[in-house]
Structure 1
Amino acid sequence: MFVVKYVRTLFMFLILMALTACQDESRSPIEIDMYNPDGDSLGKATLAEDPNGVKITLNLSGLKPGLHGIHVHEFPKCDGPDFKSAGNHLNPDSKLHGLMHPEGPHLGDMPNIEADPDGKLSDVEVTVQEATLKDGKKSLLKGEGTSLIITEEQDDGITQPAGNSGKRMACGKITLGESNESETPSNPADDGPQKEE
């Protein structure tokens, strides 16, 4: 009798594990729409699991030519014109900002991207190092999700709180469902040394 219960429990556990794995796999890839401050569509970003984190492939137009900062932010909210509703950079480990900072980076920090002379990004790839689309502390889909923000200027990789990268010029929600409109940006002073503009 005990063996039958044990086998039955083990079987149910294996089914649960398989269903969980399938659920996580269904999260990759995710395609999101990116918008400018006026609410006009700029194109798409595709997020996919990668051995090093989450790879983002950008196909956008309507940007200023040249280098731009790109970051993952706390909340899946893109209320224009300033996109402040997205909160601060995603920073679950309370580090300082910047890929070049000895006490950084934020999880949401990434290398700059470069729009061509026509203001386009065509199959431009960047990776959110150590992030995941699966469950966990470093998930881009934790809670209600996060957002992807492109800034007006390039990120200098070290200046607090956001690399001196200027205004937020494009935003897309990283989520599997509807965002929670009641959520408000955190107070960075409560989350460690990082401060956001």
Structure 2
Amino acid sequence: MRIAIIGTAALLTLGLAACNQDKLAVGAPMAGGARAVATLQTADGAAVGTASASEVAGGLRFTIDARGMPSGTHGTHVHMVGRCDAPDFTTAGGHWNPTAMKHGSMNPQGPHGGDLPNLIVGTDGRGTLGITIPGMTMAGLFDADGSALVVHAAADDLMTDPSGNSGARIACGVFGAA
């Protein structure tokens, strides 16, 4: 009987420890976590998708749902200013870089907090992307001048500072609280 009680207690302890581990895992959903959304637009104002940022355990989860975009591979980045003035969206500033790193996930001195993977858009004009960026916060995303999501014309080489040779900015959206 005593062995059965000790065994049951041990199993319950392990089960509770596993539950706590799940809650601490980076990227795990958080009840009541803040969310931000941006409508992506071209320079002529056409809506070409949405981007969202969600608070998750240990960071932010970014998702992009693009539609009506040129097919191909496009660099995508969170930029440090919440402005998307046409025609070239340069008012969005440089990449969001709260940790003062170099550009690119392949750069030994990188990446920026705003460096996202390339967005691959099919011949139907659609593309999706989802990634969790550890250590980033909603407070950082919504600093004094906000932030924006920018889609570039070319693929990001994931290494060259400051923007991965990803070319012109073809779509932009300002994050706002959802």
Structure 1 92/29 Cα, relative in aligned 2: closer, same or farther at 3 Å? closer
Structure 1 27/145 Cα, relative in aligned 2: closer, same or farther at 3 Å? farther
Contact 1:52 1:127 in 2 (8 A): no
In the TM superposition, residue 162 of structure 1 has moved relative to its aligned partner by 0.6
Partner of 1:142: 143
Partner of 1:115: 121
In the TM superposition, residue 120 of structure 1 has moved relative to its aligned partner by 0.7
Moved more, 78-87 or 106-115: 106-115
RMSD: 2.0
Which of 31, 35, 38 aligns to 1:29? It is 35
Counterpart of 1:128, as a letter, is: I
Partner of 2:176: 175
Output aligned runs, 1:119-130, within 5 Å.
119-122=125-128, 124-130=129-135
Q: SS in structure 1 opposite 2:91?
A: helix
Partner of 2:136: 131
- Which consecutive residues of structure 1, in runs of 5 or more, have no partner in the other structure? 1-24, 178-197
Contact 1:74 1:86 in 2 (8 A): yes
TM-score, length basis structure 2: 0.75
Contact 1:144 1:175 in 2 (8 A): no
Q: Give, in whole Å, the separation in 1 of the partners of 2:56 and 2:43.
A: 30
Are 1:76 and 2:77 matched, yes or no? no
- Which consecutive residues of structure 2, in runs of 5 or more, have no partner in the other structure? 1-30
Task: Select the structure with the greater relative contact order (CA < 8 A; seq sep ≥ 6).
Answer: 2
Matched residues, percent identical? Answer: 36
Structure 1 52/165 Cα, relative in aligned 2: closer, same or farther at 3 Å? farther
Deviations 1:117-148 (A, max 9, x none): 211125x3133332121x3xxx2112231111
Which of 47, 54, 78 aligns to 1:48? It is 54
Runs of 4+ in structure 1 over 3 Å off: none
Structure 1 26/86 Cα, relative in aligned 2: closer, same or farther at 3 Å? farther
Contact 1:36 1:170 in 2 (8 A): yes
In the TM superposition, residue 175 of structure 1 has moved relative to its aligned partner by 3.1
Contact 2:80 2:95 in 1 (8 A): yes
Q: SS in structure 2 opposite 1:45?
A: strand
Partner of 1:61: 67
Deviations 1:146-165 (A, max 9, x none): 11111111110111221000
Are 1:158 and 2:159 matched, yes or no? yes
